[in-house]
Amino acid sequence: MAFARLSSGPVLVTSVGSTIVEVRLGAKPGGAKPDTKLAKRLADCLRRGPVKAGVRYSLEGLPEFSRKVLSACARIPAGQVRTYAELAKAAGRPKAARAVGQVMAMNPVPLVVPCHRVVGSNRSLTGFGGGMAWKEALLASEGWEFEGKGRSRRLAGRTKSEVRS
């Protein structure tokens, strides 16, 4: 297990060899010293968008639908968002937006598979495993601005780099 400190907070990462199998946001690092190499790898994932070939992660043991959804999510570029419905369509089940929400909630490798880039159909910010403060901080680091308060919080507009596919 390794610990990294990002601007959004602490992150614990469990790896098997060089393959990331779990990421826990906001977890208490105990007495561990921050791993600057790991922090750089995670920051690269966030900055560059789709997961670089050099960052290995595992979705082993997950159902096929979950793997399809998370693989589609991993391809969302930094500064862009997709809706749950768009990911459902990308996974071959266009009417399964709620099921996509469940997959996002169980994402074992957030940051690496950027589930913070998934929003409601009205561009509202919805739940996030690390908490809404993390989701807002991660999206803000990608250039997003917000409107509203609390549960009604949503994206105010597109970033310069956002292009819908």
Check whether domain 64-155 has CATH 1.10.10.10, yes or no: yes
Tokens 């959804």 appear where?
A: 69
Between 150 and 84, where is the model more confident? 84
Read out DSSP for 37-61? HHHHHHHHHHHHSSPPTT-EE--TT
Tokens 């779990």 appear where?
A: 22
pLDDT band at 53 (very low <50, low <70, confident <90, very high): low
User: Hey, what's the torsion of the CAs at 120, 124, 125, 127, to 10 degrees?
Assistant: -50
pLDDT in tens, 124-165: 888 888 888 888 888 888 888 887 765 567 677 654 444 444
φ/ψ of residue 19, rounded to 5: -100, 120
Catalytic residue set: 115
Task: Please state the domain extents for the chain.
Answer: 2-57, 64-155
Cut 0.75: pTM above it: yes
Output the pLDDT for position 163. 41
User: Hey, what's the torsion of the CAs at 121, 49, 71, 133, to 10 degrees?
Assistant: -50
What is the Cα–Cα distance from 136 to 78, expressed in whole angstroms? Answer: 14
